[in-house]
Amino acid sequence: MQASGFRDTGRFVHRPARAGVFTPTNLSRLMRCLDPHANIAPPIRAQGAGSASTDCNQSPAGTVIRTTALDRITRIDAYNHTVTAEAGVRLGTLVSALAKQGLELIGNHDQMERTLGGALASPCMGPGIGSGASYLSSQLISVKVITPGGKIMTVTEQKKHLLNAFRLSYGLLGVVYEATLRVRPISTFSASHRSLCVDKFSDVVDRLSAQDVGLKFYLLPHRDRVYVDVRRYAADPGNAYETPWRIKDWGESTILPHVFKSLNRVVPIPSVRYKLIDGISAATHGLVNTKLVNSGNNVAASGRRRRTKPRSLLYSTWCFPATDFSVVAKAYVDFCQQMQQGNGYRCDMPAVGFRVGRDPSAMLSPSFDEPVFSLQTTSTQHRGWDDFVIDLAQFAENWGGTPLFSQSRAFRAEHAAQSYSTRLDFFRKIRRQLDPDNRLLNPFLAQSFA
Ligand X SMILES: Cc1cc2nc3c(=O)[nH]c(=O)nc-3n(C[C@H](O)[C@H](O)[C@H](O)COP(=O)(O)OP(=O)(O)OC[C@H]3O[C@@H](n4cnc5c(N)ncnc54)[C@H](O)[C@@H]3O)c2cc1C
Nearer to ligand X, 395 or 405 (CB): 405
Phi and psi, residue 88, nearest 5°: -90, 0
Q: Assess 118 for contact with ligand X (CB under 6 A).
A: yes
Query: 87 and 68 in contact (C-beta within 8 Å)?
Result: no
Separation of alpha carbons 381 and 348, rounded Å: 7
Site for ligand X (CB under 6 A): which residue of 33, 34, 40, 56? 56
Site for ligand X (CB under 6 A): which residue of 76, 121, 329, 333? 121
Q: Which of 56, 76, 60, 68 is nearest to 114 (CA)?
A: 68
Q: Assess 115 for contact with ligand X (CB under 6 A).
A: yes
Strands 44-47 vs 63-66: parallel, antiparallel or unpaired: parallel
Tell me if residue 96 falls in helix, strand or coil. Answer: helix
DSSP assignments along 1-14, one per residue: ---TT----SSS--
Phi and psi, residue 355, nearest 5°: -85, 135
Nearer to ligand X, 170 or 218 (CB): 170
Phi and psi, residue 120, nearest 5°: -95, -30
- Which residues ranging from 82 to 101 are in contact with ligand X (CB under 6 A)? 87
Cβ 76 to ligand X, closest distance in Å? 20
Separation of alpha carbons 188 and 236, rounded Å: 9
Separation of alpha carbons 270 and 264, rounded Å: 9
Cβ 21 to ligand X, closest distance in Å? 12
Q: Assess 364 for contact with ligand X (CB under 6 A).
A: no
Nearer to ligand X, 90 or 346 (CB): 90
Strands 63-66 vs 20-22: parallel, antiparallel or unpaired: parallel
Q: Assess 257 for contact with ligand X (CB under 6 A).
A: no
Strands 82-86 vs 225-232: parallel, antiparallel or unpaired: unpaired
Query: 197 and 222 in contact (C-beta within 8 Å)?
Result: no
Site for ligand X (CB under 6 A): which residue of 33, 40, 44, 46? 46
Q: Assess 134 for contact with ligand X (CB under 6 A).
A: no
Separation of alpha carbons 449 and 173, rounded Å: 11
Phi and psi, residue 382, nearest 5°: -75, -40
Separation of alpha carbons 274 and 123, rounded Å: 32
Site for ligand X (CB under 6 A): which residue of 209, 297, 379, 407? 407
The residue range among 52-60, 196-204, 263-271, 324-332 that interacts with ligand X, by the rule CB under 6 A, is 52-60
Q: Assess 41 for contact with ligand X (CB under 6 A).
A: no
The residue range among 116-124, 227-235, 239-247, 259-267 that interacts with ligand X, by the rule CB under 6 A, is 116-124
The residue range among 99-107, 120-128, 187-195, 321-329 that interacts with ligand X, by the rule CB under 6 A, is 120-128
Q: Assess 353 for contact with ligand X (CB under 6 A).
A: no
Nearer to ligand X, 189 or 444 (CB): 444
Query: 108 and 301 in contact (C-beta within 8 Å)?
Result: yes
What lies within 8 Å, CB to CB, of 422 at 6+ separation is: none
Q: Assess 357 for contact with ligand X (CB under 6 A).
A: no
Nearer to ligand X, 297 or 379 (CB): 379
Site for ligand X (CB under 6 A): which residue of 33, 49, 219, 372? 49
Q: Apex CA 375: angle with CA 369 and CA 380, to 5°?
A: 150
Cβ 349 to ligand X, closest distance in Å? 9
Q: What are the angstrom distances between the C-alpha of 256 and each of 202, 426, 429?
A: 26, 43, 44
Q: What are the angstrom distances between the C-alpha of 334 and each of 183, 270, 331, 337, 385?
A: 41, 19, 5, 5, 18
Nearer to ligand X, 87 or 339 (CB): 87
Q: Assess 244 for contact with ligand X (CB under 6 A).
A: no
Nearer to ligand X, 257 or 321 (CB): 257
Site string for ligand X, 62-81 (x = CB under 6 A): -----x--------------
The percent of the chain in helix, strand and coil, each rounded to the nearest 5, is: 35, 25, 40
Separation of alpha carbons 113 and 253, rounded Å: 13
Q: Assess 57 for contact with ligand X (CB under 6 A).
A: yes
Site string for ligand X, 271-310 (x = CB under 6 A): ---------------------------------------x
Q: Assess 124 for contact with ligand X (CB under 6 A).
A: yes
Q: Assess 125 for contact with ligand X (CB under 6 A).
A: yes
The residue range among 151-159, 171-179, 361-369, 381-389 that interacts with ligand X, by the rule CB under 6 A, is 171-179
Site for ligand X (CB under 6 A): which residue of 33, 99, 112, 176? 176
Q: Assess 52 for contact with ligand X (CB under 6 A).
A: yes
Site string for ligand X, 305-324 (x = CB under 6 A): -----x--x-x---------
Separation of alpha carbons 404 and 424, rounded Å: 12
Separation of alpha carbons 364 and 179, rounded Å: 19
Residues making contact with ligand X (CB under 6 A): 45-52, 56-57, 67, 87, 110-111, 114-115, 117-119, 121-126, 170-171, 175-176, 310, 313, 315, 376, 406-407
